[in-house]
Structure 1
Amino acid sequence: MHTVETVLLVLMLGALTGITARYLSAIPLPLIQIGLGTLLAWPQQGLHIAFDPELFLLLFIPPLLFADGWRIPKREFFSLYKPILKLAFGLVLFTVLGLGYLIHWLIPEMPLTVAFALAAVVSPTDAVAVSAITRNLGMPPKTMHVLEGESLLNDASGLVALKFAIAATLTGLFSWNEAAKEFLWMAVGGLAAGALIGWGFAVARDTVTRKLGDVAATQMVLLLVLLPFAAYIVGERIGVSGILAAVAAGITTNFADLNRSEFITERMQTEGTWALVESAFNGAIFLLLGLQLPSIIGTALEQAGEHWWVPVGQVVAISLALLLMRWLWLSTGVHTSLDRAHAEGKLAEKPSRLLTLATTLAGIRGAVTLAGALSVPLLLNDGSPFPGRNQLVFLATGTILLTLLIGSIGLPLVLRRLPPSGEPASMQEERLARLAACQAAIASMVLDKTQADTADPQWLAQYQESAGRLTQEYRKRIDLLDDDTPAATPEAQAEAPDAILQRRQRYVVEQELRLRALHAERNALYAERHAHRINDESLRSLVAELDLTETALRRRLDVARRAARVAANAVASSMPPRETGPH
């Protein structure tokens, strides 16, 4: 099949599996995509794609890691840097050494350097698969931030360790001193190069858009999509980590975006574009993994012959050892940092055995592991075959599948046993931020004495009438959001929960009515177009306004419903228990 046709087919299947996953919510999306890819490639005449690891790393990994670096909450990322670094670098080193020696003991015919290469390949985790599995299952938000930060950085540390293991296999030489220097150069150099590229783009973008405004929004979004590729290529060309360069560029660009509040069109287009890129590329990655499975498994089982259970048992042993080492590291090396973060208020959930188990099961392997395994060279420097390469690729692929299955089954079971964490800190912060925004809006409408004295009386009357209506709107939203409404008397305090509930329910009804009216407006506009009283351009312009309004209204309605549920719970908890007499 032609390359272009293959790419289009993979993207189409990624979209279709995303829709299918909505109907099969019990099965994680990555498993559906891997299964479909396997079915497509399994028959003799199935879809077979030549996998180029370097091309794969260039096309798929930089934009996804850039997007993760751009989206991840920076406050939590930097406040939880100690456990993140211990997982991203300390755990990788612990895994490479410990698992490497274990693999060499399990498979004596595999050279120790190749065993280290396999351990390095399976050390990076995949936060994309974890988020797909734990969606709506109650994974504590701060724990998810730690997992995302770990995944952002351990891709680079795992691939750097793989590079050293391959170099030692090819040359037969290895120096801890040289390895440490090289690792430091690649890590620090990659972060510095990415930050510099991101900062340079931010300065150039700011210079252009301060003059042109949102007119150049589409072009700026296109350049932003190309930025992770530029960071990765430059990083690789100068001999540092291109992956860390892409991550650093994403983080730097996000910081620059904090000073661009007025560029609405660019911001909306950026959000939509990255949502599309992430969805398409994530789907393509797991589909490509499924497409490679039949050939990888078939080759390994054919070589094993009647003893097919041996490589399968090795996969099970390596996967369980990987999870056990992760649990040990979390229980010993990271537990103190997590306890301290919880004591300082940086981590809402207190570390517990169940939470440690959930974090252990979240150590799922994915796309970077497959790309790293397939990037192992076919030949040594003398032209002889690379020792144990096919076995390495099979074991790495089996580890991906088994950790994905264990996580898919185990994570939901463990997360359901975690105690409810109550209102997340982010929701409370969002509520307080909305309160501050409403109060700032009300304050902005107050005229100072000089303006009021010098204003035209007719304009002043119109201004005060309009300001009064708007102030009333904002007061309604403040009443909805404020959970600390003072009560003057004990009787008022006793009635406060009921009053709050009724007020919030009225607000919900009002917002639902607004939404219903908005739908009527949109239907009327389409009816006007069908009757040829307006053209397509006018329809798009008018509907775009309503769409923006509905987006804000739906978000406000979600907040209102959540606040009403909180008030209903407060009323229920304040009611005395009903006495039940004899029947």
Structure 2
Amino acid sequence: METISLVLVLLLAVVISGFIARALPIAVPLPLVQIGLGAAVASVTSDPVELSPDIFFLLFLPPLLFLDGWRIPKEGLFRDKGTILELAIGLVVVTVLGVGFLINWLVPSMPLAVAFALAAIVSPTDPVAVSAIAARVPIPKRIMHILEGESLLNDASGLVCMRFAVAAALTGAFSLFDAVGTFIWVAVGGIAIGVVVTFGITTAKNWISRRLGEETGSQILISLLIPFAAYLLAEHLHCSGILAAVAAGMSMSYAEQTGQALAVTRVRRSAVWDTVQFTLNGIIFVLLGEQLPKIVEGAAQVVQETGHRDPIWLAVYVVAINLALAALRFLWVWGSLRYTTFRKAPEGQVAVMPSWRLIAAMSVAGARGAITLAGILTLPLMLDDGTPFPARDLAIFLAAGVIIMSLIAASIGLPYFLKGLELPPEPSHQVEEDRARIASAEAAIKAIEQELHELSQGRDDVDIYAETGTRLMELYRQRIDAGLKTGEEATLVRKIDGIERKLRLAALRAERDEVYRNARARNVPDDVARKLVREIDLLEARIAG
């Protein structure tokens, strides 16, 4: 009963954190608020939550990585693939080596393998935390796409590197040749399993739905189970469950393009996944705050074993690691952008380097978050011989310190570096959007004509069908005409569309208010009111989106 009560308290803290973050006058990342609430929860509870590393890893990471892979814009990912790969793989390897040796030098009592594991797990970045700041300090879309792509891939590369480091710490042996071969098997196998699991499950699901009909609840539950299936199968075959979850998510975005799911399934599933993402991210940071007192106590004891009596050395370690991470990231981003700029400069023209403020913004935007915390908490409790895992509490504390300090740096640094920064204009997709609207409208007109022909066969009231079809097709023809206009005419059409959108939204809100008024007055049954409100909500979401 105590455990259930504590879980409910943690969930309540996640809910309250959202209200507090929005109420604060300054842009404070939501994870920092959640960490603070977790610490408050720890102050009123007797014992901290006992976290099993394997269970924690299984419950939190697969769905988060799966959703990141599912929703990341693929166009931006492939357009900036060079920059993203340089950051997600090259920077991770440099970080593991550079910061790993630094940590081992700072804390000689921490074995080198454990230092590498810590460096590997603090290398992944978290765009969720940056998105919280971006809500008040807009970040250019292309930078966000690069950060999202980097985060998606460096989650996998960082966690895979951590896996090798932990294995070396457990066994006391490390072979570079074996590690490279294992890495290839782990990576390729994990990606292949993720792709096969997603397409296999979605193909079977679609086949059953076509024959027996589609049930929305089952479809949503299947989407929730896919990341766990991919992860567990990959781990069972000694491949990377992390990469399997990411690959499963990316495959899901392509599998869904068949459009076989019902519209109501997609709407409800999106809402469910939004809730899952918010809840899991929130619980991870609340748990970090709840674990902080215990983590600090254990870390202070380890520091004393190194010969330093003053716990202030904990802060020194955190600052030193953060400075090293920031310096490596700044130098890597500078070198990467310089190489890319000169390589892509037109022949005979001088390459123009991006502003140092842009490089600094990209550097401080590399905040650490949920993946770092989830990964560090999975450090084994014991070595193979039964002795406690060396410096585990200190490693967890340092990772937590890196998360908190990087979030603070991002919340302060991003507004400063991005303020007044002139950037190249974002590429517009208006032409592609207009072309897609015209094509879909033409397809709709053909479908209406065909359906109208079939419905009106042998009927006496053909005129009614013809009039209804003509009225509906006229709406689609207006959309086609609007998409074909250019120049000032196109500007005028878009202005009219904007005015129409505002008027229709106002009308829909009035409709909904009236439905609610009638429901309160018991003029309409509850189920009818819910049906009408849902129809209005879907229309509003379509128009407002």
Task: Give the TM-score range, shorter chain.
Answer: 0.7 to 0.9
Q: What CA distance in whole angstroms lies between the structure 1 residues aligned with 2:503 and 2:242? A: 49
Q: Decide whether the 8 Å contact of 1:342 with 1:350 is kept in 2.
A: no
Q: How does 1:2-13 map to 2 (within 5 A)?
A: 2-13=2-13
Q: What CA distance in whole angstroms lies between the structure 2 residues aligned with 1:161 and 1:500? A: 52
| More displaced stretch, 268-277 vs 426-435 | 426-435
Match of 1:571 in 2: none
Match of 2:144 in 1: 144
SS in 2 for 1:307: coil
Match of 1:156 in 2: 156
Which segments of 5 or more consecutive residues in structure 2 lack a partner in the other structure? 347-351
Instruction: Please tell me the residue identity of whatever aligns with 1:390.
Output: D
Instruction: Please tell me the residue identity of whatever aligns with 1:245.
Output: A
Q: Decide whether the 8 Å contact of 2:126 with 2:366 is kept in 1.
A: yes
Q: What CA distance in whole angstroms lies between the structure 2 residues aligned with 1:378 and 1:455? A: 74
Q: Decide whether the 8 Å contact of 2:21 with 2:28 is kept in 1.
A: yes
Measured after TM superposition, the shift of residue 475 of structure 1 is 5.9
Q: What CA distance in whole angstroms lies between the structure 2 residues aligned with 1:36 and 1:74? A: 36
- Match for residue 519 of structure 1 among 506, 509, 515: 509
Measured after TM superposition, the shift of residue 152 of structure 1 is 1.7
Q: What CA distance in whole angstroms lies between the structure 2 residues aligned with 1:69 and 1:123? A: 19
Residue 542, structure 1, aligned to residue 516, structure 2: no
Match of 1:275 in 2: 274
Measured after TM superposition, the shift of residue 134 of structure 1 is 2.1
Q: What CA distance in whole angstroms lies between the structure 2 residues aligned with 1:9 and 1:128? A: 23
Match of 2:207 in 1: 207
SS in 1 for 2:419: helix
Match of 2:118 in 1: 118
Match of 1:285 in 2: 284
Match of 1:400 in 2: 403
Measured after TM superposition, the shift of residue 447 of structure 1 is 8.6
Q: Deviations over 1:156-214 (max 9, x none)?
A: 22222222222323333211001111111111111111111101111111101222344
| Percent identity for Structure 1 against Structure 2 | 45
Q: Deviations over 1:348-374 (max 9, x none)?
A: x98543332222112212223223333
| More displaced stretch, 256-265 vs 103-112 | 103-112
Instruction: Please tell me the residue identity of whatever aligns with 1:537.
Output: D
Q: Decide whether the 8 Å contact of 1:40 with 1:47 is kept in 2.
A: no
Q: What CA distance in whole angstroms lies between the structure 1 residues aligned with 2:161 and 2:207? A: 40
Measured after TM superposition, the shift of residue 66 of structure 1 is 0.7
Instruction: Please tell me the residue identity of whatever aligns with 1:149.
Output: G
Q: Decide whether the 8 Å contact of 2:337 with 2:354 is kept in 1.
A: no
Q: How does 1:101-500 map to 2 (within 5 A)?
A: 101-214=101-214, 216-260=215-259, 263-301=262-300, 303-304=303-304, 306-333=309-336, 335-337=338-340, 351-419=354-422, 421-422=424-425, 425-426=428-429, 429-438=432-441, 440-441=443-444, 462=464, 465-466=467-468, 469-470=471-472, 473-474=475-476, 484-485=486-487, 496=488
Measured after TM superposition, the shift of residue 232 of structure 1 is 1.2
Q: Decide whether the 8 Å contact of 1:88 with 1:157 is kept in 2.
A: yes
Q: Decide whether the 8 Å contact of 2:14 with 2:34 is kept in 1.
A: yes
Match of 2:83 in 1: 83
Match of 1:33 in 2: 34
Measured after TM superposition, the shift of residue 289 of structure 1 is 1.2
SS in 1 for 2:143: helix
Measured after TM superposition, the shift of residue 33 of structure 1 is 0.7
Q: What CA distance in whole angstroms lies between the structure 2 residues aligned with 1:457 and 1:218? A: 39
SS in 2 for 1:115: helix
Q: Decide whether the 8 Å contact of 1:95 with 1:325 is kept in 2.
A: yes
| More displaced stretch, 377-386 vs 310-319 | 377-386
In the superposition, relative to structure 1, how do residues 117 and 545 fare at CA in structure 2: closer, same or farther (>3 Å)?
A: closer
Which segments of 5 or more consecutive residues in structure 1 lack a partner in the other structure? 344-348, 486-495, 556-583
Measured after TM superposition, the shift of residue 254 of structure 1 is 1.5
Match of 1:570 in 2: none
Q: Decide whether the 8 Å contact of 1:339 with 1:351 is kept in 2.
A: no
Measured after TM superposition, the shift of residue 446 of structure 1 is 6.8
Match of 2:542 in 1: 552
Instruction: Please tell me the residue identity of whatever aligns with 1:484.
Output: T
Instruction: Please tell me the residue identity of whatever aligns with 1:155.
Output: D
Measured after TM superposition, the shift of residue 251 of structure 1 is 1.3
Match of 1:74 in 2: 74
Measured after TM superposition, the shift of residue 64 of structure 1 is 0.9
In the superposition, relative to structure 1, how do residues 352 and 208 fare at CA in structure 2: closer, same or farther (>3 Å)?
A: farther
Query: Which protein shows a greater Rg?
Result: 1
Measured after TM superposition, the shift of residue 525 of structure 1 is 3.3
Measured after TM superposition, the shift of residue 442 of structure 1 is 5.5
Residue 100, structure 1, aligned to residue 103, structure 2: no
Aligned residues: 534
Q: Decide whether the 8 Å contact of 1:70 with 1:253 is kept in 2.
A: yes
Q: What CA distance in whole angstroms lies between the structure 2 residues aligned with 1:115 and 1:440? A: 59
Q: Decide whether the 8 Å contact of 1:438 with 1:477 is kept in 2.
A: yes
Measured after TM superposition, the shift of residue 319 of structure 1 is 0.7
Instruction: Please tell me the residue identity of whatever aligns with 2:534.
Output: A
| More displaced stretch, 303-312 vs 332-341 | 332-341
Instruction: Please tell me the residue identity of whatever aligns with 1:517.
Output: A
Match of 2:349 in 1: none
| More displaced stretch, 52-61 vs 146-155 | 146-155
Q: Decide whether the 8 Å contact of 2:110 with 2:391 is kept in 1.
A: yes
Q: What CA distance in whole angstroms lies between the structure 2 residues aligned with 1:172 and 1:138? A: 47
Instruction: Please tell me the residue identity of whatever aligns with 2:397.
Output: F
SS in 1 for 2:339: helix
SS in 2 for 1:406: helix
Q: Decide whether the 8 Å contact of 2:29 with 2:407 is kept in 1.
A: no
| More displaced stretch, 514-523 vs 196-205 | 514-523
Q: What CA distance in whole angstroms lies between the structure 2 residues aligned with 1:275 and 1:49? A: 26
In the superposition, relative to structure 1, how do residues 313 and 246 fare at CA in structure 2: closer, same or farther (>3 Å)?
A: same
Q: What CA distance in whole angstroms lies between the structure 2 residues aligned with 1:500 and 1:155? A: 43
Q: Decide whether the 8 Å contact of 1:125 with 1:366 is kept in 2.
A: yes
SS in 2 for 1:425: coil
Instruction: Please tell me the residue identity of whatever aligns with 1:30.
Output: P
Match of 1:16 in 2: 16
Measured after TM superposition, the shift of residue 32 of structure 1 is 0.8
Q: What CA distance in whole angstroms lies between the structure 2 residues aligned with 1:339 and 1:207? A: 51
Q: Decide whether the 8 Å contact of 1:195 with 1:248 is kept in 2.
A: yes
- TM-score calculated relative to the size of structure 1: 0.82
Q: What CA distance in whole angstroms lies between the structure 2 residues aligned with 1:365 and 1:342? A: 33
Q: Deviations over 1:535-583 (max 9, x none)?
A: 222222232222222222333xxxxxxxxxxxxxxxxxxxxxxxxxxxx
Q: Decide whether the 8 Å contact of 1:118 with 1:392 is kept in 2.
A: yes
Measured after TM superposition, the shift of residue 47 of structure 1 is 6.2
Measured after TM superposition, the shift of residue 316 of structure 1 is 0.5
SS in 1 for 2:258: coil
Q: Decide whether the 8 Å contact of 1:191 with 1:248 is kept in 2.
A: yes
Measured after TM superposition, the shift of residue 287 of structure 1 is 0.8
- TM-score calculated relative to the size of structure 2: 0.87
